[in-house]
Structure 1
Amino acid sequence: MAGSGRAESYPRTCSDKDAKFDDNAHKIEDITTAHDHADAITELSGIEATAASKAAWLISLTVSLGGLLFGYDTGYISSVLVTINTSLGHVLSSSEQELVTSLTSGGALVGAVGAGLSADRFGRRMPIWSACIVFVIGTVLQTAAYSVPQFAVGRFVVGLGVGSAAMVVPLYISELAPAKYRGRMIAFNNVSVTFGQFIASAIGAGFAQVGNPDSSQAWRATVGIGAAPAIALAGLLFLCPESPRQLVAHGKVEEASKVLTRIYPTSTEEQRKAKIASIEMSIQEATQTMVDDSIWKSLRRVFTTPATGRAVLTACLTMAISQLGGFNTLMYYSATLFSLVGFDNATAVAITVSGTNFLFSIVNLVLVDKFGRRIILIITVLGMAICMLIAAVSFHYIPINPSNLELLTDSVGWPGIVLLITIICYVAFYSSGVATMGWIGTELIPIEVRAVGTMLNTVTYWSTNIIIASTFLSMMKGMTPSGAFGFYCGVCFFGWLFFVFCYPECKGMPLEAIREVFARGFGVKFSKKWQRENKHFAKLNGQQSFAH
């Protein structure tokens, strides 16, 4: 057929050769005729190109409070580590600092798995409600702690809520948001995360000045404030609808239609019907899977279906690079790090890290749907690698005793200033790029394994986060600070190579169409072709509308 010939003529990158193992599935499910491909673009871009309602933006903002919780509860530990002193019975050792820092990540890993197991069966909102309750319990445990074990348990419990929210919120937004605004709406969640981290740093720095530094209990207020947004989110979530794709998957088509009307108020009835039909078609076979299949069958599908495996691998590798590249060493230990290199008010200096992170996450929010994911990743991750290289060189000129990580001078010299500037630049590259892209990666995962795939993506985040949180101080001692930051530089450079050769551009693609990309290997060239054709059809539609 002509259409089949067209589909096979799409050029492949060197990484696309793996697609030959998926030829049968490719022929059955993914090859479309040129006419069908054009119709799909025209049909979906019709409703997807319409303006999003205020309700859609408000819903995204509301559930992004989960990101605020995530950011706050991972951000305050930096200041608490340098102000807690003997509040838990003694001064915390390096291993105890790594323990209480990484336990939140450990709890988040468990919470992400739990949310992944329940998100398809009970919907997207239930795990978010559960996360809010767990947040409050964990916050109370930490605030009332007078021993390391109790504080550690509180950190783990909070982590359960962090992991659940971090897994479900981007998934929920990606399924609810119009394709045209999907990247921006998911980026709201990341902006909320960075805002939470900034607020935590600012509050921590403020309370660090309260009372006697050697006996102050003000850190408890820093921790306790984290319960407020959890309570607010639990109440506001009643105003948010369930995901249309979840409603259709569970046979609630009429309810899904009402939600689509709420999200696309300027669309026509025909466009809404076409959207529902498209959703029904994409999950026709997946519906039974999501309702009845076990988690093991879904996982097996990820690892035995090449196209699905490539999609999940791309999302998970992006997430892993975002963590192993070293950012959270700065978020968790920034105050400790700046104190190490000689800054007097380390908690105040650490605000520059969280503040830069917040500001440049807004830059990503503005640019992600305009320029796309791929080019932003390629530019920013290379910038991260260069910054980590400069940081490694700067540490070489800072006199630090590697055995106890103590500064061997009384003042901050030029290497310390260069290090501070380099770290700020690194954070700017990170937050404007891969920080958000790791979560936007949920858009790459097919509907039939989206909850499981998102769970794996979130598990990747927290497992690599645990590695960073629990090894940073040990790496600084064992490899020297220069060696540790050189390692992070290497991870960033590997990530840059991966994004250049394997990351497809899915800007503006309906979720139902993205599966077509990974049926052709990693689909880098195919996605470029799709973008050109979509732009062409949009231009033609605009000319036709103008003519009428």
Structure 2
Amino acid sequence: MANAVDTPLISHQEDDTADDTQSEISDAEDTVIEWPAGRPGLFIWLLTLSAGISGLLFGYDTGVISATLVSVGTSLSGRALTSLDKSVITSCTSLFALAASPISSVLADFFGRKPVILLSDLLFVLGAVVQALSYSVSNMVLGRSIVGIAVGAASFVTPLYIAELAPPTYRGRLITMNVLSITLGQVVAYVIGWIFAEHGDPSTGWRWMVGLGALPAALQCALILFMPETPRWLVKAGRSTEAGRIVQKTLGSDKTSYRLVDSVVKGIEREIREEQGRAELTDNGGKHRFQGWHELLSVPRNRRALIIACLLQGLQQLCGFNSLMYFSATIFTMLGFPIPTLTSLTVAATNFVFTVLALFLIDQIGRRRILLYSIPFMVCGLLLAAFGFSSIKLPSGDASLGDHVPATDDMSSPSSQNAAVIILISIMIYVASYALGLGNVPWMQSELFPLGVRSLGSGLATATNWIANFIVGLTFLPLMELMSPSVTFSLYGLVCAFGWFAIWKIYPETAGLTLEEATCLLENGWGV
């Protein structure tokens, strides 16, 4: 008997060669075929790790800017950076990521998921080089904008790529692996930032920080040549036989059967036919110029999926988390910590450790419950930080938060030092809670959308993430200056409380379901 990997699937052009088998599979179309139990095979882990390099790049370019902002000195435009300079340099990445997300969704539908990952890698390399060679604020903004396009594409397509390849039982865990890669990239960025800030040449160290981001992107460019396209995109492109071979590899040849693989492929084909039929009914024969948009917004279950996905992605940023990633070194400098880049590393390390914990809990506890359990601790951490800031006297005068302000005598007093420690602990509580839930669950957005609108819906939700990211990055320092840190952190706490209530009302549990089953939850309501 031939090995299962080499067994060809029955194509639609060869139906007359296997009538008995075709009859069996026809019967199987109306039954639920369980995916085999056990751990994901080596093939799927290698795919996840390879795709996760995009997450590593995402995290590195998010984290490295924190140390860069306090290390650049007067290297850009011959002057120290102001608060506005820092806000623009930081937020331009989010702005261009916002623009790239919906465009990359269209490209992923037309060309496939794999080419979009390759394109993002090339942009990561280009952006890193432009930043490293910058001698003005405008050039730095250009480099960060190119990186923003790369981050926007990668943040959308990588979770989608993994979700469409992963077995249902482990989909949450494997997508969380991508989030783990993001947090690992942030840890690496903070470690490199600390090394160059404390032990490197002050005039060139920051250039190495931003330039090193090109290395993992170049590595992924090489690895992606050996990565397959997702089965669902292949079926949609009319390449069902090739899709079956990929399904076979993801399950492992020792666990799979011909009947199971063919049933999975036919289930995808059936979903595509249903989506096309629904589109024709709502679109008068498919003549609508914006058929994908029309289907996403007019079909109730698709509209509900979009609302939930946008809610989660917007909340992930409006809770203020990335303000800590972008400006943690600035905050800890303001609080009088002697080595702010090293103190920032504790934030990134906390994020990484609790993301590892989420890796083991996400499929056991479930997406909905882990959010409902973790967000209240985020609120507590933010309110505790607001209390700490209200108990400390910050540097006053003409200095802004954009300047490197040394600790004053007031900052060195025991009460101020205790308040600074309280703020650090509260931030760690907040980051740990974020990493457990809100840091990874929104990236499982593709579970909610049917295949026909999955790419478009995920792209719009990711764009929502970057709109919120842009708002937070642009307004955080001005809010700290105009309204005080206490009010700023209290506002983030209020946003989290509102988000918890919305999740409790409309977000259903999708853990353990196939992608096709998960989309049915929203057919006749919110499915909670």
Same fold (TM over 0.5): yes
1:130 aligns with 2:119: yes
Rounded Cα–Cα distance in structure 2 between residues aligned with 1:293 and 1:368: 42
Residue 410 of structure 1 aligns with an amino acid whose one-letter code is: M
Q: How does 1:140-219 map to 2 (within 5 A)?
A: 140-211=129-200, 213=202, 216-219=203-206
Aligned to 1:96: 85
Aligned to 2:208: 221
Measured against aligned partners, the alpha-carbon deviations of 1:253-292 in whole angstroms (never above 9, x if no partner) come to: 11011111111221221111211121111111446979x9
The counterpart of 2:514, out of the listed 510, 513, 530, is 510
Q: How does 1:309-388 map to 2 (within 5 A)?
A: 309-388=303-382
Rounded Cα–Cα distance in structure 2 between residues aligned with 1:461 and 1:101: 15
Against the structure 1 CA distance between its residues 53 and 461, is the aligned structure 2 distance closer, same or farther, given a 3 Å change threshold?
same
1:86 aligns with 2:83: no
Aligned to 1:410: 411
Rounded Cα–Cα distance in structure 2 between residues aligned with 1:515 and 1:82: 46
Aligned to 1:544: none
Say if 1:332 and 1:469, in contact at 8 Å, map to a contact too. Answer: yes
1:64 aligns with 2:63: no
Greater shift in the superposed pair: 241-250 or 300-309: 300-309
Q: Measure how far apart 1:410 and its partner are.
A: 3.4
Q: How does 1:262-301 map to 2 (within 5 A)?
A: 262-265=249-252, 266-286=255-275, 296-301=290-295
Identity %: 39
Measured against aligned partners, the alpha-carbon deviations of 1:376-430 in whole angstroms (never above 9, x if no partner) come to: 0001111101111111111111112577346662314211110000001110000
Say if 2:29 and 2:266, in contact at 8 Å, map to a contact too. Answer: no
Q: Measure how far apart 1:78 and its partner are.
A: 0.2
Measured against aligned partners, the alpha-carbon deviations of 1:429-453 in whole angstroms (never above 9, x if no partner) come to: 0011111001012211121110101
Say if 2:335 and 2:411, in contact at 8 Å, map to a contact too. Answer: no
Say if 1:250 and 1:287, in contact at 8 Å, map to a contact too. Answer: no
Say if 1:179 and 1:511, in contact at 8 Å, map to a contact too. Answer: yes
Against the structure 1 CA distance between its residues 521 and 115, is the aligned structure 2 distance closer, same or farther, given a 3 Å change threshold?
same
Rounded Cα–Cα distance in structure 1 between residues aligned with 2:211 and 2:426: 33
Rounded Cα–Cα distance in structure 2 between residues aligned with 1:250 and 1:146: 46
**Equivalent residues, number:** 482
Rounded Cα–Cα distance in structure 2 between residues aligned with 1:495 and 1:352: 27
Rounded Cα–Cα distance in structure 1 between residues aligned with 2:287 and 2:66: 42
Against the structure 1 CA distance between its residues 155 and 293, is the aligned structure 2 distance closer, same or farther, given a 3 Å change threshold?
farther
Say if 2:124 and 2:150, in contact at 8 Å, map to a contact too. Answer: yes
Residue 380 of structure 2 aligns with an amino acid whose one-letter code is: I
1:255 aligns with 2:242: yes
Measured against aligned partners, the alpha-carbon deviations of 1:283-327 in whole angstroms (never above 9, x if no partner) come to: 11446979x988832122222222111111111101111110010
Rounded Cα–Cα distance in structure 2 between residues aligned with 1:359 and 1:305: 40
Aligned to 1:455: 459
Q: Measure how far apart 1:110 and its partner are.
A: 1.9
Say if 1:132 and 1:230, in contact at 8 Å, map to a contact too. Answer: yes
Rounded Cα–Cα distance in structure 2 between residues aligned with 1:438 and 1:221: 32
Aligned to 1:36: none
Greater shift in the superposed pair: 276-285 or 145-154: 276-285
Aligned to 2:25: none
The counterpart of 1:466, out of the listed 464, 467, 470, is 470
Aligned to 2:387: 393
DSSP-derived class of the 2:464 partner: helix
Q: How does 1:113-128 map to 2 (within 5 A)?
A: 113-128=102-117
Against the structure 1 CA distance between its residues 211 and 188, is the aligned structure 2 distance closer, same or farther, given a 3 Å change threshold?
closer
Say if 1:50 and 1:267, in contact at 8 Å, map to a contact too. Answer: no
Aligned to 2:479: 475
TM-score for both structures, normalised by structure 2: 0.88
Against the structure 1 CA distance between its residues 248 and 505, is the aligned structure 2 distance closer, same or farther, given a 3 Å change threshold?
same
Aligned to 1:432: 436
Aligned to 2:231: 244
| RMSD, matched Cα | 1.9
Say if 1:127 and 1:168, in contact at 8 Å, map to a contact too. Answer: yes
Greater shift in the superposed pair: 439-448 or 458-467: 439-448
Residue 325 of structure 1 aligns with an amino acid whose one-letter code is: C
Say if 2:125 and 2:217, in contact at 8 Å, map to a contact too. Answer: yes
Q: Measure how far apart 1:477 and its partner are.
A: 1.3
Rounded Cα–Cα distance in structure 2 between residues aligned with 1:368 and 1:401: 42
TM-score for both structures, normalised by structure 1: 0.85
Against the structure 1 CA distance between its residues 293 and 60, is the aligned structure 2 distance closer, same or farther, given a 3 Å change threshold?
farther
Against the structure 1 CA distance between its residues 247 and 153, is the aligned structure 2 distance closer, same or farther, given a 3 Å change threshold?
same
Q: Measure how far apart 1:48 and its partner are.
A: 5.3
Say if 1:117 and 1:295, in contact at 8 Å, map to a contact too. Answer: no
Against the structure 1 CA distance between its residues 174 and 87, is the aligned structure 2 distance closer, same or farther, given a 3 Å change threshold?
same
Rounded Cα–Cα distance in structure 1 between residues aligned with 2:323 and 2:97: 17
Q: Measure how far apart 1:112 and its partner are.
A: 1.4
Aligned to 1:484: 488
The counterpart of 2:43, out of the listed 39, 55, 62, is 55
Against the structure 1 CA distance between its residues 41 and 79, is the aligned structure 2 distance closer, same or farther, given a 3 Å change threshold?
farther
Say if 1:167 and 1:458, in contact at 8 Å, map to a contact too. Answer: yes
Greater shift in the superposed pair: 47-56 or 301-310: 47-56
Q: Measure how far apart 1:211 and its partner are.
A: 4.7
Rounded Cα–Cα distance in structure 2 between residues aligned with 1:127 and 1:523: 33
DSSP-derived class of the 2:198 partner: coil
Rounded Cα–Cα distance in structure 1 between residues aligned with 2:31 and 2:63: 44
Residue 231 of structure 1 aligns with an amino acid whose one-letter code is: A
Rounded Cα–Cα distance in structure 2 between residues aligned with 1:128 and 1:141: 20
Q: Measure how far apart 1:74 and its partner are.
A: 1.1
Q: Measure how far apart 1:515 and its partner are.
A: 1.9
Residue 73 of structure 2 aligns with an amino acid whose one-letter code is: N
Rounded Cα–Cα distance in structure 2 between residues aligned with 1:41 and 1:133: 44
Q: Measure how far apart 1:162 and its partner are.
A: 0.8
Against the structure 1 CA distance between its residues 482 and 243, is the aligned structure 2 distance closer, same or farther, given a 3 Å change threshold?
same
DSSP-derived class of the 1:209 partner: helix
Say if 1:62 and 1:233, in contact at 8 Å, map to a contact too. Answer: yes
Residue 63 of structure 1 aligns with an amino acid whose one-letter code is: A
Query: What are structure 1's unaligned runs of at least 5 residues?
Result: 1-38, 525-548
Say if 1:319 and 1:461, in contact at 8 Å, map to a contact too. Answer: yes
Aligned to 1:11: none
Residue 219 of structure 2 aligns with an amino acid whose one-letter code is: A
